[in-house]
Amino acid sequence: MTMTAGNIPLALKSLLLIATAAAAASTVPGTWINLGLRHFPQLEAAQTMETYDAGASTICGALKGLSQGQGKLCQLSVDHMSSVAKGAKFGVLECQHQFRDRRWNCSTVHDETVFGPVLRIASRETAFVHAITAAGVVYSISRSCRDGQLSSCGCSRSSRPRDLNRDWIWGGCGDNLEYGYKFTQAFVDVRERERSFKRGSREQGRSLMNLHNNEAGRRAVIKRSKVTCKCHGVSGSCSLITCWQQLASFREIGDFLLDKYDGATEVRVNRRGRLSMRDPRFSVPTANDLVYLDDSPNYCLPNDTLGSLGTQGRACNRTSSGMDGCNLLCCGRGYNTQKSTIRERCECKFHWCCYVECKTCVKNVDIHTCK
């Protein structure tokens, strides 16, 4: 798929420049991902607001977690914020699904930092969170455009794939990935551009890492998107075929990014202020890959400084040799076993017509939890 810079509103472009130039050294607590976890009722009203609506600054000012530049972008595109919130929520829920069996399970805390101190570590987990949440915003903005929910974008205007059958029509209303990508790039990355860092410093390295992983997340959505076609014509004769660009399921994008997490590359920042490989024997990461600066803690024990909850009490699988196995999940501390009975529907029979009759079976199961 090709990216065209054509359809981002001019106002958004110029605002970006302003926000970038502002370079205010404010340390903003929290993260924009907070929009996805708290309920902000004002966002629904904001969906129908126009750019420069006087109410926008009140609404945006009340959204905890936005950086200065994000606050300005919010005022300019206040109608987008409900989609941003939805995207953040997709990202967090998918993170929790993908990490459900791991020591760090993407748990959240009750403040606008969303994940607590864990994101301070420039780890693989942090890399994943940046990627999946950026992906969530691309996803939901692209879809909102297609659904006609945003005044500044509509159906995708991406160009016809060269290998598409000549007889097929390129023209259904596709998900607007170009716009979703551009908006997300502006909104999510602006945060990293608000401060200036000493070249080659750790802070600069962290900022480059975030930018890289945000981009990898946005690209994952594009890479997983597909051309989808539909038949038209009398009684399925398929005399006319139209095709358009369509988002994959968000689960597919999550699976894709989990692979990237498992294969993430350790990098460092060099004196010229660029990321470089920590171990030159590995292959250089592409823009689709995740990168990290620091090794992860083992997340075995609770540690408030690290934001680790530890794995005590987590349910594990006695026979699995994977991350969900008691051995790995419990960090060798062992596990407790509890007998439990579960009732479930079983031996179901279908009776003509139309009901299903089941018995209730009682099953004894062992539940293992980490010590």
Per-residue string for binding with ligand NAG, 310-329, x by CB under 6 A?
-x-xx--x-xx---------
Nearer to ligand NAG, 225 or 311 (CB): 311
Residues 87-106 that bind ligand NAG (CB under 6 A): 96, 100, 105
Q: Among 68, 152, 303, 327, which residue sits at the site for ligand NAG (rule: CB under 6 A)?
A: 303
Output 126 or 246, the one with its CB closest to ligand NAG.
126
Residues 151-190 touching ligand NAG, rule: CB under 6 A, are none
Please, which residue, 33 or 306, has the CB nearer to ligand NAG?
Answer: 306
Question: What span, in angstroms and rounded, lies between the C-alpha atoms of 52 and 359?
Answer: 62
**Residue owning tokens 């969530």:** 136
- Positions in 272-301 near ligand NAG (CB under 6 A): 297
Cβ partners under 8 Å of residue 366, min gap 6 = 318, 337, 338, 339, 340
Least Å from the CB of residue 108 to ligand NAG: 8
- The strand ranges marked E within 222-334 are 226-232, 240-246, 265-269, 275-277, 291-292, 302-303, 308-309, 315-316
Residue 89 CA to residue 33 CA, distance in Å, equals 8
**Closest CB to ligand NAG among residues 56, 370:** 370
Query: Smaller CB distance to ligand NAG: residue 88 or 309?
Result: 309
Using the minimum distance from each CB to ligand NAG, give the nearer residue, 151 or 317. Answer: 317
357's enclosing H/E stretch is strand 355-370
Q: State the minimum distance, in angstroms, from the CB of residue 129 to ligand NAG.
A: 13
Rounded distance between C-alpha atoms, residue 201 and residue 207, angstroms: 10
Question: Closest separation between CB of residue 222 and ligand NAG, Å?
Answer: 28
- Is the Cβ of residue 149 or residue 327 nearer to ligand NAG in the bound state? 327
d(CA 270, CA 331): 35
Nearest distance in Å: CB 341, ligand NAG = 15
How many Cβ atoms from other residues are within 10 Å of residue 313's Cβ?
A: 10
Q: How far is the CB of 99 from ligand NAG (least distance, A)?
A: 8
**Tokens found for residue 58:** 């009140």
Strand 291-292, strand 265-269: pairing:
parallel
User: How far is CA 161 from each of CA 8, 223, 226, 245, rounded to the nearest angstrom?
Assistant: 22, 14, 11, 9
Please work out the total of residues on this chain that contact ligand NAG, with binding judged by CB under 6 A: 15
Handedness of CA 5, 7, 10, 13 (dihedral sign): negative
Binding mask 107-126 for ligand NAG (x = CB under 6 A): x-------------------
Min CB(311)–ligand NAG separation in Å = 6
Joined together, the tokens standing for residue 128 give 């994943």
Q: How is residue 340 written in tokens? A: 């439990």
Tokens of 153: 């974008």
Whose structure tokens read 């300005």? 72
Contacts of ligand NAG in 206-245 (CB under 6 A): none
Q: What strand order describes the sheet that includes 315-316?
A: 315-316, 355-370, 335-351
Taking the complex as a whole, the smallest distance from the CB of residue 299 to ligand NAG amounts, in Å, to 9
**Closest to ligand NAG by CB, 90 or 183:** 90
Residues 207 and 197: beta-carbon distance below 8 Å: yes
Residue 53 vs 101, nearer CB to ligand NAG: 101
- Give least dist CB 114 to ligand NAG, A: 13
Site for ligand NAG in 328-367 (CB under 6 A): none
* Distance set, CA 369 to CA 311, 340, 359 (Å): 9, 13, 30
- Does position 305 interact with ligand NAG (CB under 6 A)? The reply is yes
CB-wise, 147 or 294, nearer to ligand NAG? 294
In whole angstroms, the minimum distance from the beta carbon of 342 to ligand NAG comes to 11
In the complex, the residues that contact ligand NAG under the rule CB under 6 A are 96, 100, 105, 107, 297, 303, 305-306, 309, 311, 313-314, 317, 319-320
